[in-house]
Amino acid sequence: MADQAACPVVGPAREFVVEADGGSRGNPGPAGYGAVVLDAATGETLVEAAEYLGVVTNNVAEYRGLLAGLHAAKELDPDARVHVRMDSKLVVEQMSGRWKIKHPDMKPLATEAARVFPPGRVTYEWIPRADNKHADRLANEAMDAGARGEQWSPSESTAELDAASDAATAGVGSRAAAATDVRAAKAVASPGWGPPDLGAPATFVLLRHGETPLTPQKRFSGSGGTDPSLSAVGREQAEKVAESLARRGTIEAIVASPLARTRETAGIVAARLGLEVAVEEGLRETDFGAWEGLTFGEVRERYADDLDAWLASPDAEPTGGGESFAATGARIAATRDKLVAAYAGRTVLLVSHVTPIKTFLQLALGAPPESLFRMELSAASLSAVAYYADGGASVRLFNETSHLR
């Protein structure tokens, strides 16, 4: 019989829980991630990590958070088993192998994440955002630090927020959530005050084009389809909005998307106001690929998996090589900056489409990508955003349709 003292005693593998999150204020925009490694048995926080990433998309930030959490767990114990919990359905489904990874920015990150631990040692679980507050807070702290030109580091305020969160869980209080809400409110609200010494802002009055034959049927109508003209109803709507804008007397220039329905709407308004129309390619609608001309229900029947991915991630493209919301966001951000520089201090009518206008508003508010699905934008409606010299923005009007009544 062998000497027992010569045989190493191998204990059970350690088990960790990794919670990770990433965020981008603009998508793409200033971004950061947060990750925490917990002892699976006790719930004890073992490692916190966070980093400001510069300008990247929300999904890149989420993957970077995952990588940070996995690497931190491996440093603690390379033989551990890890259970990852994230509120990103995209990352969870892709890393679990149920969704394909199509975006070129995602593939190398997912490949790297899969290599941190051997296959079978990491499992993934989607959790609601409310259950991922720790990592979310770290990500926001990293973005806040980046906005100040600093690197994130643990602080006393972090410990206080953790203590408050633990107390809230025990029913004692909710100071952590309140502190996070206040910080988020300051980050979003403060630029909108627009101090008077910054001068007059560039104000974009955002006009969605009038109805086309596809509008009442709620069919996907982007920049890759039939490019329909206005219907009789749509032309009447354009006349009404032109009359309303003439009464206000504030529009100094008109810029339109190159598509037929926007150029026709802009032309009707321009004729009433005595202005010329400049065409800007960046204001075009998203290309919906194979979904062009279909209703939402028809897309659900034909391309269910692609639709689910599109609803879950701004990086997902419509079937057939359409344009993702992330790509639209980058295009609109560049167009916004170009037009703000060209029309500083002036009020400009931008005649565009549902997705670009919603994206202008989302970027101005610093809202998450899913906010695009939570806005109603009627045909021939007016919205407005003012842009100040310090980079701040203020939403002044949304989906105004009183001129159509």
Query: Which residues are identified as catalytic?
Result: 209, 285
Tell me the C-alpha distance between 250 and 401, whole Å. Answer: 18
| Residues sharing a CB contact under 8 Å with residue 52, sequence separation 6 or more, in sequence order | 30, 31, 32, 142, 143, 145, 146, 151, 152
Q: Give the phi and the psi of residue 43 in degrees, each rounded to 5.
A: 80, 5
- Tell me how crowded residue 286 is: count the other CB atoms within 10 A of its CB: 25
Return the amino acid letter for 326.
A
Q: Could you tell me the strand order of the sheet in which 15-24 lies? A: 45-56, 29-39, 15-24, 81-86, 122-126
- Give which of 134, 181, 146 is closest to 51, Cα–Cα: 146
- Give which of 248, 236, 239, 267 is closest to 203, Cα–Cα: 248
Tell me the C-alpha distance between 380 and 240, whole Å. Answer: 9
